[in-house]
Amino acid sequence: MSTPPILSGADEAQIASTCAAIGISVSEFSELRRRATAAKATAYCRYSRFRVGATLLCTAPENDAAAAAAGEGGQDDDEVVVGLVRGPGRTVYVPGANVENASYPVGTCAERVALGTAVTSGIRTFRAIAVATDISPPASPCGMCRQFIREFCTMKTPIIMFDKNSDYVVMTVDQLLPMSFGPDALPPPGAPGVH
């Protein structure tokens, strides 16, 4: 697999082209970049000093129990539901940051923090993922995160990786994790050999 090009975060025409290709608006792209970059500030990375921020672009479920309990009718677009800010069009942005531990394998990556927050809030529709770091070129999600993303996203979900200058690379889940193992690889309940 060839390395995808690093695209300029300052090139408005390039950003518009990227957005058209991955099915999000320019304002959603800008919000993903802003929120993923801001999420880095919440990272707990006292050992590696490697800050990672992530933000998910999600669609709130139609049967959003939390929204119903909060009395959704007539609320403004900045209503906070289950700790998440709902934007226009039932769009939800879910942030995450890496959280380390002195026992290195126990740490949690930004992408998994964001996905865990979304999933436990009832969100299951993910339109895009943004990841931001303090290095250049952009860093991609680790192998464990790629597998975790695969569980909840479609193979065509775009992952936008921003570097310290807001330049970016976009790849799909399928490009980051080819020949992946997912729920569809497991035998259905009651299949021969399954107890």
92-136 pLDDT, tens digit per residue, is 999 999 999 999 889 999 999 999 999 998 898 999 999 999 999
Q: Calculate mean pLDDT across residues 178-190.
A: 88
What pLDDT band is residue 188 in, cutting at 50, 70 and 90? confident
Note the pLDDT tens digit of each residue in 147-176: 999 999 999 999 999 999 999 999 999 999
Task: List, in order of start, the domains of the chain with CATH numbers.
Answer: 12-175 (3.40.140.10)
DSSP codes joined into one string, 38-81? HHGGG-B-TTT---EEEEEEEE--TT-HHHHHTT-TT--TT-EE
* Predicted local confidence at residue 84, as pLDDT: 58
Which tokens is 66 given? Answer: 């939390």
Residue 111 annotated as catalytic: yes
What are the φ and ψ backbone dihedral angles of 78, each rounded to 5 degrees? -100, 20
CA distance 128 to 23: 9
Mean pLDDT value across residues 77-92: 54
Catalytic position from the list 28, 31, 100, 111 = 111
How far is 17 from 72, CA to CA, in rounded Å? Answer: 35
Residue 111: per-residue pLDDT:
98
pLDDT at residue 67 in the model:
46
In this predicted structure, the answer to whether residue 75 has a pLDDT above a threshold of 60 is no
Given this model, what pLDDT does residue 71 score? 38
